[in-house]
Structure 1
Amino acid sequence: MSENNPVAPEAYKPGKLQLLRDIGLLQLKLIVDGLRDFALVPLSLVAGVISLLSGRKEPGTEFYDLLRYGKRSERWINLFGAIDRLDEPQKAGETEADLDRMMERIETFVVKEYRDGNITSQAKEKLERAIERIQRATRRSNQ
């Protein structure tokens, strides 16, 4: 894969349902990432002040611990993880636990419960209506 051609020719091509899922997941990730950043603004200032005032020989412990936490949370959110599946499908799923993996487990659980008939009739009706809307939109866009 070269810099001029960022997508390998043998890369996975998502269907419309997968694209819809990736769009929704990106929105969720953007919200989580924004909330994390919103929390880090005051926390980093507090941690920085505490680190400066601690009187330790090596200042910065609290501040740099917070940065380490921020870096771990950035990897967990994995904002652009959907592109890994497109550009390097053989490596998809190799990363440590992240928001993508958590959503896959939730999806698997919901689908299994739906198939096994273990969800309420009201939830099942709403899910079926949502699937119908997606299918209608897909059919319209294919015409």
Structure 2
Amino acid sequence: MTTMPRLTGQDFDIVRKERSSRWSLVRRLLIFQVKLFTDGLRDLFLSPISFLFAGIGIVFGGRDPHAAFNRLMNAGQITDNWIDLFGHHAREGDRPSLERMIDEVENALRADHARGGVTAEAERRFRTLAEELMRRAQPGRASEN
């Protein structure tokens, strides 16, 4: 029986260097939730498909009734590695993964914001809206509206 190495927070967060940041923890939590949701959708999809593929193997399988089901298992393993729910594969270089895709989207949004693009404009509008809501919520101001 092989034992899994003990993983640390550093093993999970391969992109960020600010290990003590609370925002880094929030980011990791959000990424984990996206991974959980994606994994759940995959499981929801694979469950009925597995019955279908097993049925195909039982009825039409010929010499290898396991062939279709084995292809499904291989596809499931590929998606499992891509989702990388608990970060077991995070140390494998530039391997495509859901977390890397999230990082690319985040980097694109940060670059857009730095250029003053759509995300910067959205931030300005949200700030203006928040200031307006705070102004309206001040005591004594409600009667003025």
Above 0.5 in TM-score?
yes
- 8 Å CA contact 2:109–2:119 kept in 1: the answer is no
Match of 1:88 in 2: none
Residue 35 (structure 1) aligned with residue 41 (structure 2): yes
Q: Which amino acid counterpart does residue 6 of structure 1 have in structure 2?
A: R
1:6 CA displacement: 3.2
1:85-136: CA deviation from partner (whole Å, max 9, x where unpaired): 7xxxxx3x6151000100000000000000001216652236769xxxxxxx
Matches within 5 A, 1:1-143: 6=6, 13-81=19-87, 91=91, 94=93, 96-119=95-118, 123-125=122-124
- 8 Å CA contact 2:82–2:96 kept in 1: the answer is yes
Moved more, 98-107 or 50-59: 50-59
Query: How much identity, in percent, do the aligned residues show?
Result: 26
Which 4+ runs in 1 deviate beyond 6 A? 126-129
1:18 CA displacement: 1.1
RMSD: 3.0
TM-score (norm 1): 0.70
Mark the CA change 1:80 to 1:128 in structure 2 (over 3 Å): closer, same or farther.
Answer: farther
Mark the CA change 1:53 to 1:14 in structure 2 (over 3 Å): closer, same or farther.
Answer: farther
Moved more, 112-121 or 30-39: 112-121
Structure of greater Rg? 2
Higher relative CO (CA 8 A, sep ≥ 6), structure 1 or 2? 1
Q: How many residues align?
A: 118
| Structure 2 segments unaligned to the other structure (5+ residues) | 12-16, 129-145
